[in-house]
Structure 1
Amino acid sequence: MTAIAEPRAPRAAVRRRGANLEKWGWVYMRASGVLLVVLIFGHLFVNLMVGEGIHGIDFAFVAGKYATPFWQWWDVLMLWLALIHGANGMRTIVNDYVTHAGTRRVLVWALGLAAAFLIVLGTLVVFTFDPCIGFDAETASDTIISICG
């Protein structure tokens, strides 16, 4: 009878006291994945199927959506969930395949910093979006005129 080789393990699997972060990361991936499917398909439906469809998407369309808190929070929730979901998935891949502890630590920190930077930047863009900067009533569309008056 042949023995199956022991799988490669970069770290010893010692159970530590406190919260099981790997378990909660696993739970987050499942829950955020389900919620992201709903948010993304809702986003696609509103942007591509309602109204004029893809031909209606322009600056005025985005300005109209971001004039309401509902769509701001919808897009921010989608942004946060997607970035954290993606960074957590990449962290799992790094932990599985990078064997050198120092390199693994640097890559995990880089992933965390990149995700945090993009979350902050994206959130600022959504909540500080002002379609009226440089507003010119002569060349603006009807939607922008109704928003900026």
Structure 2
Amino acid sequence: MFKHIVRIADTDLDGNKPVMIALTGIKGIGLRMAKAITSALGLNPRAKLGELDDETIERLRKLVEEELEQHIPSWMFNRRKDPYSGKDLHLLSKDVDFAKMLDIEKMIKIKCYRGVRHAKGYKVRGQRTRSTGRKGMTVGVVRRKK
């Protein structure tokens, strides 16, 4: 039976898309990670996600949510040597946003250069600020009347 929506890692995935493309709908999984997941399970990456049987979808869900660290090499993870636990992790969905928020809060707390820029709302990565990145009212040059 064809499934139009498949739920993996708290994300609704489109069953009409190929498995590899559908997995990229989960935050934290890109094309390379999706390719590694399909090859670890021995799935055809071009098969439609909705056409897979229930057992295969359950295996896919279990690998993505629980066993990713055992089947994928650690150099592919998005959070290697986590500063809090010291482990190699691969974060998904809400955890990605939460870890990013904690990292920014830590930078602001220790008052490093990037933290100060974040706190003030300026550009952080060396972009130009003379002419872009302004918020609020536009301010121009006032001309004298002739």
Structure 1 length as normaliser, TM-score?
0.31
Higher helix share: 1
Structure 2 length as normaliser, TM-score?
0.31
